[in-house]
Amino acid sequence: MPGMVKSDKPDLSVHVGPLALKNPILTASGTFGYGLEFEPFLRLDELAGFVTKGLSPLPREGNPPPRIVETPAGMLNTIGLQNIGIDAFIRDKLPRLREYDTAVIANVFGETEAEYVEVCQKLDQTDGVAAIELNVSCPNTEQGGMIFGNDATALSAITHASRKATRLPLIVKLSPNVTDIRVTARAAVEGGADILSLVNTFVGMQIDVQRRRPVLKKVCGGLSGPAIRPLAVWMTWQVHEAVDVPLIGMGGISSAADALEFILAGATAVQIGTANFVHPDGSIRVLRELQRWLADHDVATVRELVGAGHPKAPA
Protein backbone atom coordinates (compact mmCIF):
# COMPACT_ATOMS: atom_id res chain seq x y z
CA MET A 1 0.00 0.00 0.00
CA PRO A 2 1.44 3.42 -0.86
CA GLY A 3 2.80 5.26 2.11
CA MET A 4 2.79 2.18 4.28
CA VAL A 5 5.92 1.70 6.35
CA LYS A 6 7.50 -1.56 5.35
CA SER A 7 9.42 -3.52 7.93
CA ASP A 8 12.81 -3.87 6.29
CA LYS A 9 14.02 -6.42 8.77
CA PRO A 10 11.23 -8.87 9.42
CA ASP A 11 11.76 -11.12 12.42
CA LEU A 12 12.49 -14.59 11.06
CA SER A 13 13.21 -16.32 14.34
CA VAL A 14 10.98 -19.17 15.44
CA HIS A 15 10.67 -21.52 18.39
CA VAL A 16 9.91 -25.03 17.24
CA GLY A 17 8.98 -26.35 20.66
CA PRO A 18 12.26 -26.56 22.58
CA LEU A 19 14.29 -25.81 19.45
CA ALA A 20 15.09 -22.12 18.96
CA LEU A 21 15.95 -21.25 15.36
CA LYS A 22 17.16 -17.97 13.87
CA ASN A 23 14.88 -18.49 10.87
CA PRO A 24 12.47 -21.18 9.64
CA ILE A 25 14.68 -22.62 6.89
CA LEU A 26 16.31 -26.00 7.52
CA THR A 27 17.54 -28.56 5.01
CA ALA A 28 16.25 -32.11 4.79
CA SER A 29 18.04 -35.33 5.64
CA GLY A 30 19.63 -37.06 2.68
CA THR A 31 19.89 -33.88 0.64
CA PHE A 32 22.56 -32.07 2.63
CA GLY A 33 25.18 -34.72 3.42
CA TYR A 34 26.84 -33.87 6.72
CA GLY A 35 26.68 -30.13 6.02
CA LEU A 36 30.37 -29.68 5.33
CA GLU A 37 29.92 -30.66 1.67
CA PHE A 38 28.16 -27.31 1.24
CA GLU A 39 31.00 -25.14 2.56
CA PRO A 40 32.11 -24.15 -0.96
CA PHE A 41 28.62 -22.97 -1.87
CA LEU A 42 27.04 -21.17 1.09
CA ARG A 43 27.59 -19.90 4.62
CA LEU A 44 26.27 -22.57 6.95
CA ASP A 45 25.80 -19.84 9.57
CA GLU A 46 23.09 -18.27 7.44
CA LEU A 47 20.87 -21.36 7.65
CA ALA A 48 18.79 -21.99 10.75
CA GLY A 49 20.18 -25.49 10.68
CA PHE A 50 20.36 -28.68 8.71
CA VAL A 51 19.45 -32.32 9.17
CA THR A 52 22.22 -34.85 8.60
CA LYS A 53 22.11 -37.90 6.40
CA GLY A 54 20.47 -40.72 8.41
CA LEU A 55 22.94 -42.10 10.95
CA SER A 56 23.02 -45.76 11.98
CA PRO A 57 25.13 -47.57 14.61
CA LEU A 58 27.49 -48.92 11.94
CA PRO A 59 28.43 -47.52 8.52
CA ARG A 60 26.23 -48.68 5.64
CA GLU A 61 27.14 -48.93 1.97
CA GLY A 62 23.55 -48.56 0.79
CA ASN A 63 21.72 -50.05 -2.18
CA PRO A 64 23.12 -51.14 -5.56
CA PRO A 65 22.69 -48.71 -8.49
CA PRO A 66 20.77 -47.44 -10.40
CA ARG A 67 19.56 -45.47 -7.39
CA ILE A 68 17.91 -42.38 -8.82
CA VAL A 69 15.82 -41.28 -11.76
CA GLU A 70 14.12 -38.00 -12.60
CA THR A 71 10.34 -38.14 -12.91
CA PRO A 72 7.82 -35.45 -13.88
CA ALA A 73 8.45 -32.56 -11.45
CA GLY A 74 10.43 -34.77 -9.13
CA MET A 75 12.79 -37.65 -8.64
CA LEU A 76 12.81 -41.17 -7.25
CA ASN A 77 15.66 -42.34 -5.05
CA THR A 78 16.63 -45.60 -3.45
CA ILE A 79 19.92 -44.76 -1.76
CA GLY A 80 19.40 -47.24 1.06
CA LEU A 81 20.65 -45.03 3.89
CA GLN A 82 24.30 -45.13 2.89
CA ASN A 83 26.08 -43.36 5.77
CA ILE A 84 29.36 -43.19 7.65
CA GLY A 85 27.90 -44.41 10.96
CA ILE A 86 27.36 -42.54 14.21
CA ASP A 87 30.92 -42.93 15.54
CA ALA A 88 32.55 -41.47 12.42
CA PHE A 89 30.01 -38.65 12.42
CA ILE A 90 30.87 -37.70 16.01
CA ARG A 91 34.60 -38.12 15.45
CA ASP A 92 35.08 -36.65 11.95
CA LYS A 93 32.22 -34.26 11.26
CA LEU A 94 30.95 -32.76 14.52
CA PRO A 95 34.18 -31.02 15.59
CA ARG A 96 34.12 -28.88 12.45
CA LEU A 97 30.35 -28.40 12.57
CA ARG A 98 30.64 -26.96 16.10
CA GLU A 99 32.45 -23.97 14.60
CA TYR A 100 29.23 -22.89 12.91
CA ASP A 101 26.32 -21.00 14.43
CA THR A 102 23.75 -23.35 12.94
CA ALA A 103 21.52 -26.04 14.45
CA VAL A 104 22.89 -29.50 13.66
CA ILE A 105 19.97 -31.94 13.71
CA ALA A 106 21.04 -35.57 13.63
CA ASN A 107 18.78 -37.89 11.66
CA VAL A 108 18.79 -41.32 13.30
CA PHE A 109 17.63 -44.69 12.16
CA GLY A 110 18.10 -48.30 13.11
CA GLU A 111 16.88 -51.73 12.23
CA THR A 112 15.80 -52.47 15.79
CA GLU A 113 14.67 -50.46 18.78
CA ALA A 114 18.04 -51.10 20.43
CA GLU A 115 19.82 -49.50 17.48
CA TYR A 116 17.73 -46.33 17.70
CA VAL A 117 18.45 -46.18 21.43
CA GLU A 118 22.19 -46.69 20.91
CA VAL A 119 22.51 -43.83 18.42
CA CYS A 120 20.33 -41.49 20.52
CA GLN A 121 22.44 -42.19 23.60
CA LYS A 122 25.67 -41.46 21.76
CA LEU A 123 24.29 -38.17 20.46
CA ASP A 124 23.04 -37.27 23.92
CA GLN A 125 26.56 -37.61 25.28
CA THR A 126 28.19 -35.27 22.79
CA ASP A 127 28.21 -31.51 22.28
CA GLY A 128 27.08 -29.74 19.17
CA VAL A 129 23.84 -31.51 18.33
CA ALA A 130 20.72 -29.33 18.59
CA ALA A 131 18.09 -32.04 18.14
CA ILE A 132 17.46 -35.58 16.96
CA GLU A 133 15.16 -36.44 14.07
CA LEU A 134 13.99 -40.05 14.11
CA ASN A 135 13.76 -41.57 10.68
CA VAL A 136 10.89 -44.01 11.01
CA SER A 137 9.77 -43.56 7.46
CA CYS A 138 12.51 -44.42 5.01
CA PRO A 139 11.01 -46.47 2.17
CA ASN A 140 14.40 -47.74 1.02
CA THR A 141 15.58 -50.30 3.50
CA GLU A 142 14.25 -53.76 4.06
CA GLN A 143 14.00 -53.51 7.83
CA GLY A 144 14.94 -50.03 9.00
CA GLY A 145 12.48 -47.31 9.04
CA MET A 146 9.15 -47.64 7.44
CA ILE A 147 7.89 -50.64 9.38
CA PHE A 148 8.08 -48.43 12.47
CA GLY A 149 6.50 -45.50 10.69
CA ASN A 150 3.47 -47.33 9.35
CA ASP A 151 2.28 -48.95 12.55
CA ALA A 152 1.00 -46.62 15.26
CA THR A 153 1.84 -49.00 18.11
CA ALA A 154 5.39 -49.65 16.87
CA LEU A 155 5.90 -45.94 16.20
CA SER A 156 4.79 -44.96 19.66
CA ALA A 157 7.10 -47.58 21.19
CA ILE A 158 10.19 -46.61 19.17
CA THR A 159 9.57 -42.93 19.95
CA HIS A 160 9.18 -43.71 23.65
CA ALA A 161 12.40 -45.75 23.75
CA SER A 162 14.32 -43.00 21.94
CA ARG A 163 12.77 -40.35 24.18
CA LYS A 164 14.18 -42.12 27.23
CA ALA A 165 17.63 -42.32 25.62
CA THR A 166 18.16 -38.57 25.17
CA ARG A 167 17.38 -35.17 26.63
CA LEU A 168 17.76 -33.53 23.21
CA PRO A 169 14.67 -32.18 21.46
CA LEU A 170 13.12 -35.14 19.66
CA ILE A 171 11.64 -34.81 16.19
CA VAL A 172 9.77 -37.72 14.60
CA LYS A 173 9.72 -37.68 10.79
CA LEU A 174 6.43 -39.05 9.54
CA SER A 175 5.86 -41.31 6.56
CA PRO A 176 3.26 -40.22 4.01
CA ASN A 177 2.75 -43.84 2.99
CA VAL A 178 -0.15 -44.35 5.38
CA THR A 179 -3.93 -44.28 5.14
CA ASP A 180 -4.38 -41.50 7.70
CA ILE A 181 -1.31 -39.57 8.79
CA ARG A 182 -3.15 -38.16 11.82
CA VAL A 183 -3.07 -41.62 13.38
CA THR A 184 0.71 -41.96 13.21
CA ALA A 185 1.13 -38.28 14.16
CA ARG A 186 -0.83 -38.85 17.39
CA ALA A 187 1.13 -42.05 18.09
CA ALA A 188 4.45 -40.20 17.79
CA VAL A 189 3.24 -37.48 20.15
CA GLU A 190 2.02 -40.10 22.64
CA GLY A 191 5.47 -41.69 22.45
CA GLY A 192 7.07 -38.41 23.51
CA ALA A 193 7.91 -36.51 20.32
CA ASP A 194 8.54 -32.80 20.90
CA ILE A 195 8.18 -31.97 17.22
CA LEU A 196 6.90 -33.74 14.10
CA SER A 197 8.49 -33.32 10.69
CA LEU A 198 6.55 -34.27 7.58
CA VAL A 199 6.70 -35.73 5.08
CA ASN A 200 9.28 -38.26 4.00
CA THR A 201 9.16 -39.46 0.39
CA PHE A 202 6.24 -41.23 -1.27
CA VAL A 203 6.90 -44.75 -2.55
CA GLY A 204 6.83 -45.01 -6.32
CA MET A 205 8.49 -46.58 -9.31
CA GLN A 206 9.33 -45.99 -12.96
CA ILE A 207 9.58 -48.63 -15.66
CA ASP A 208 11.99 -48.43 -18.58
CA VAL A 209 9.66 -49.30 -21.44
CA GLN A 210 12.48 -50.15 -23.84
CA ARG A 211 14.05 -52.64 -21.44
CA ARG A 212 10.67 -53.62 -19.95
CA ARG A 213 12.22 -53.49 -16.50
CA PRO A 214 12.10 -51.17 -13.46
CA VAL A 215 14.57 -48.28 -13.78
CA LEU A 216 15.71 -48.57 -10.16
CA LYS A 217 17.66 -51.66 -9.15
CA LYS A 218 15.55 -52.06 -6.01
CA VAL A 219 12.39 -51.62 -8.11
CA CYS A 220 10.76 -48.87 -6.02
CA GLY A 221 12.06 -45.67 -4.47
CA GLY A 222 11.01 -42.52 -2.67
CA LEU A 223 9.45 -39.70 -4.69
CA SER A 224 10.45 -36.14 -3.81
CA GLY A 225 10.37 -32.73 -5.44
CA PRO A 226 7.62 -30.32 -6.52
CA ALA A 227 5.41 -33.25 -7.60
CA ILE A 228 4.64 -34.10 -3.96
CA ARG A 229 4.10 -30.59 -2.63
CA PRO A 230 0.28 -30.50 -2.72
CA LEU A 231 0.17 -33.91 -1.01
CA ALA A 232 2.62 -32.79 1.67
CA VAL A 233 0.86 -29.46 2.29
CA TRP A 234 -2.43 -31.29 2.77
CA MET A 235 -0.86 -33.69 5.27
CA THR A 236 0.71 -30.77 7.15
CA TRP A 237 -2.70 -29.09 7.24
CA GLN A 238 -4.36 -32.23 8.64
CA VAL A 239 -1.69 -32.93 11.25
CA HIS A 240 -1.78 -29.30 12.42
CA GLU A 241 -5.44 -29.83 13.30
CA ALA A 242 -4.78 -33.21 14.95
CA VAL A 243 -1.89 -32.56 17.35
CA ASP A 244 -0.56 -29.76 19.54
CA VAL A 245 3.20 -30.15 18.97
CA PRO A 246 4.97 -27.88 16.49
CA LEU A 247 5.53 -29.10 12.93
CA ILE A 248 8.36 -28.90 10.42
CA GLY A 249 6.99 -29.15 6.89
CA MET A 250 8.69 -30.37 3.76
CA GLY A 251 7.97 -31.66 0.28
CA GLY A 252 9.10 -29.97 -2.93
CA ILE A 253 9.93 -26.54 -1.52
CA SER A 254 12.07 -24.43 -3.85
CA SER A 255 10.70 -20.91 -3.34
CA ALA A 256 9.40 -18.61 -0.58
CA ALA A 257 5.84 -19.17 -1.80
CA ASP A 258 6.31 -22.92 -1.46
CA ALA A 259 7.65 -22.52 2.08
CA LEU A 260 4.78 -20.20 2.98
CA GLU A 261 2.24 -22.81 1.91
CA PHE A 262 3.58 -25.16 4.58
CA ILE A 263 3.80 -22.37 7.16
CA LEU A 264 0.23 -21.26 6.52
CA ALA A 265 -0.84 -24.92 6.73
CA GLY A 266 0.68 -25.10 10.21
CA ALA A 267 4.43 -25.67 9.99
CA THR A 268 6.63 -23.52 12.25
CA ALA A 269 9.70 -24.30 10.15
CA VAL A 270 10.38 -26.03 6.85
CA GLN A 271 13.04 -28.23 5.32
CA ILE A 272 14.44 -27.79 1.82
CA GLY A 273 15.22 -31.11 0.15
CA THR A 274 15.50 -31.84 -3.56
CA ALA A 275 16.13 -28.12 -4.26
CA ASN A 276 19.57 -28.53 -2.65
CA PHE A 277 20.49 -30.84 -5.52
CA VAL A 278 19.37 -28.36 -8.17
CA HIS A 279 21.40 -25.48 -6.76
CA PRO A 280 23.72 -26.11 -3.82
CA ASP A 281 22.62 -22.79 -2.31
CA GLY A 282 18.94 -23.56 -2.97
CA SER A 283 18.12 -23.26 0.74
CA ILE A 284 19.68 -19.80 0.99
CA ARG A 285 17.77 -18.68 -2.10
CA VAL A 286 14.51 -19.65 -0.37
CA LEU A 287 15.57 -17.90 2.83
CA ARG A 288 16.42 -14.61 1.09
CA GLU A 289 13.24 -14.75 -0.95
CA LEU A 290 11.21 -15.33 2.21
CA GLN A 291 12.87 -12.37 3.91
CA ARG A 292 11.97 -10.15 0.93
CA TRP A 293 8.43 -11.49 0.80
CA LEU A 294 7.81 -10.73 4.47
CA ALA A 295 9.23 -7.22 4.07
CA ASP A 296 7.22 -6.58 0.90
CA HIS A 297 4.02 -7.76 2.61
CA ASP A 298 4.70 -5.86 5.81
CA VAL A 299 4.76 -8.98 7.95
CA ALA A 300 6.72 -8.14 11.09
CA THR A 301 7.37 -11.73 12.14
CA VAL A 302 7.03 -14.99 10.29
CA ARG A 303 5.52 -16.45 13.47
CA GLU A 304 2.22 -14.70 12.81
CA LEU A 305 1.79 -16.79 9.64
CA VAL A 306 2.16 -20.20 11.28
CA GLY A 307 -1.15 -22.01 10.78
CA ALA A 308 -2.73 -18.76 9.63
CA GLY A 309 -4.23 -20.43 6.58
CA HIS A 310 -6.78 -22.28 8.68
CA PRO A 311 -10.28 -20.80 8.80
CA LYS A 312 -10.29 -20.83 12.60
CA ALA A 313 -7.09 -18.78 12.66
CA PRO A 314 -7.31 -14.99 12.94
CA ALA A 315 -7.12 -13.54 9.42
Partner 1 sequence: MPRDITTALLANTDLGGGNWLLEFGAPEMASSMGPAQFFMIGIPGSATVLRRPYSVCGLPGTFEGRPDGAVQVLYKVIGRGTGLLAALAPGAPITVLGPLGNGFTPPDDPDTIPVLVAGGIGSAPFPALISTFRGNYTRPRMFYGAASASHLPLADWFSERTELETATDDGSAGVHGLVTEPLIRMLDGASHEKLKLYACGPGPMLEAVGKISLERELACELSLEAHMACGFGVCLGCVVPVHRPGDGIGYDRVCLEGPVMDATCLAW
Q: Which chain residues interact with partner 1 by CB under 8 A?
A: 30-33, 37-38, 40-41, 61-62, 64-70, 73-75, 77, 79, 82, 225-226, 274, 276-281
Nearer Cβ to partner 1, position 200 or 276? Answer: 276
Is the sign of the CA dihedral 158, 160, 161, 165 positive or negative? positive
Handedness of CA 132, 136, 140, 143 (dihedral sign): positive
* Closer Cβ to partner 1, 69 or 242, answer by number: 69
Q: Which is nearer to partner 1, 7 or 255 (CB)?
A: 255
Minimum distance between the CB of residue 132 and partner 1, rounded to whole angstroms?
21
Q: How far is residue 104's CA from residue 93's CA, in Å, rounded to a whole number?
A: 11
Phi, psi at 185, each rounded to 5°: -60, -45
**158: phi then psi, degrees, rounded to nearest 5:** -70, -35
Q: Which helix (H) or strand (E) holds 178?
A: none
* 3-state DSSP assignment of residue 92: helix
CB of 225 to partner 1, least distance (A): 5
Residue 55 phi/psi, 5-degree rounding, is -110, 135
How far is it, in rounded angstroms, from Cα 156 to Cα 169?
16
CB of 258 to partner 1, least distance (A): 13
Q: Which is nearer to partner 1, 38 or 237 (CB)?
A: 38
Q: Shortest approach of partner 1 to residue 136 CB, angstroms?
A: 20
The total of other beta-carbon atoms located within 10 Å of residue 257's CB is 12
Catalytic one of 48, 106, 138, 155: 138
Measured CA to CA, the distance from residue 292 to residue 7 in angstroms comes to 10
User: For residues 184 and 201, which CB has a smaller minimum distance to partner 1 in the complex?
Assistant: 201
Q: Which is nearer to partner 1, 128 or 280 (CB)?
A: 280
Question: C-beta of 125: minimal distance to partner 1 in Å?
Answer: 27
- To partner 1, the closest distance from the beta carbon of 30 in angstroms equals 8
138 is a catalytic site residue:
yes
Distance CA 120, CA 116 (A): 6
Catalytic residues: 138
